A = this chain, B = another copy of it.
């Protein structure tokens, strides 16, 4: 562990919305109690003005930085969060929360329904990005933070950041979105639908009632394989794997694996099954597909009350969230005279660049946050 690490970190838990104070979800259904798993890095200053909320992507968790005791691998954004890093914990108090509907400590379909004493499964209500954000706000209020210096996230986390800007304009100073868009498009919905069908076609899925039994491993692994293809660019996949064979002189002329890329996908699929709940995958992909900031018709109007400054980052080779999509919401922000810095980073890593191209992002985020801090003080 180097001096740039936040060190050993423990996940904390916060429970709210105990009945009868249940949360009314966007669907109209009620949910409670809700537990949220979260972590914090750095120190909250006296006037509570240095807090930054970061959001994880689809299958992420609250563990964004540092190490859990006995763990060999750090949190998913460890290269970005720590002393002297982009989200500099010498200056900022960084909060990371596992989203509603996930399976990493926050209440989701795998959680025990207190009414039945059994996992919710498909009786868990459908959730939206808005529901995630509303839940996060309750936790931020609980921490006594009136105004966040920044909300920041990539991919699904970027949607949450945008929703924060719209829902709580007075509670944030700035927004950082990375590789995201303001509405899920037909191709994104289509890719998710195939993932959902893969899970729901697995006989072990049992209409979501598989807890304590055989999990729908084949379907979930398939979903993850599809996901990984979309996270890499065509170029980065060819550079990494090309047509490399797995320890063979020539192809085997049978249905076992021939190519390294096949083994890679299998490994990724199989290891995902160990760490993620299939029902959560269904709920979270639906939440993403439902997301449309312009659902009332007009994107520019949707941003009308927004006050935050924006840093919007995209990647040239990201075909899952192509740069042109972010440019659409950048235009709508600018139409509202909102201060937006838009940067497209040239990279071959595709959507994965969000987690891989940390150097370029760090520089941008670090400068942006310094400017925001400065403006806040003046």
Contacts and interface: CB of A to CB of B under 8 A. Distances in A.
Given A186-B238, A189-B261, A237-B190, A198 B198 contact: yes
A259 B197 contact: no
Given A190-B237, A190-B265, 7 more contacts: A29-B253, A189-B261, A190-B262, A197-B221, A197-B225, A201-B219, A201-B222
Interface stretch (A4-12, A67-75, A156-164, A240-248): A240-248
Interface stretch (A135-143, A282-290, A331-339, A357-365): A282-290
Contacts of A126: 253-254
Contacts of A186: 237-238, 240-243, 259, 261
A190 B187 CA distance: 18
A104 interface: no
A194 B261 contact: no
Nearest to A241: B186
A319 interface: yes
Interface in A269-328: 269, 282, 286, 289-290, 292, 319, 322
A44 to B, nearest CB: 37
Interface string A216-237: 0011011001101100101001
Interface in A186-206: 186-187, 189-191, 193-194, 196-198, 200-203
Contact of A183 (B27, B191, B243): B243
The 5 closest A-B pairs by CB, nearest first: A27-B253, A201-B218, A186-B241, A126-B253, A186-B237
A257 B289 CA distance: 11
B262 A193 contact: yes
A184 interface: yes
Contacts of A27: 253
Interface residues of A, number: 58
Between A193, A202, A225, A322, the greatest number of chain B beta carbons within 10 A of the residue's beta carbon is seen for A193
A254 B194 CA distance: 16
A159 B347 CA distance: 30
Contacts of A228: 190
A88 interface: no
29 contacts: A126-B253, A184-B243, A185-B237, A185-B242, A186-B237, A186-B238, A186-B240, A186-B241, A186-B261, A187-B229, A187-B234, A189-B243, A189-B262, A190-B262, A190-B265, A193-B225, A193-B257, A194-B225, A194-B229, A197-B266, A197-B269, A198-B198, A201-B218, A201-B219, A222-B222, A234-B322, A243-B292, A255-B286, A319-B319
A241 B261 CA distance: 32
Nearest to A282: B255
A15 B32 CA distance: 69
Nearest to A260: B186
A278 to B, nearest CB: 12
Nearest to A259: B189
Contacts of A255: 122, 196, 200, 282, 286
A197 B270 CA distance: 12
A295 to B, nearest CB: 9
Between A240, A241, A266, A282, the greatest number of chain B beta carbons within 10 A of the residue's beta carbon is seen for A241
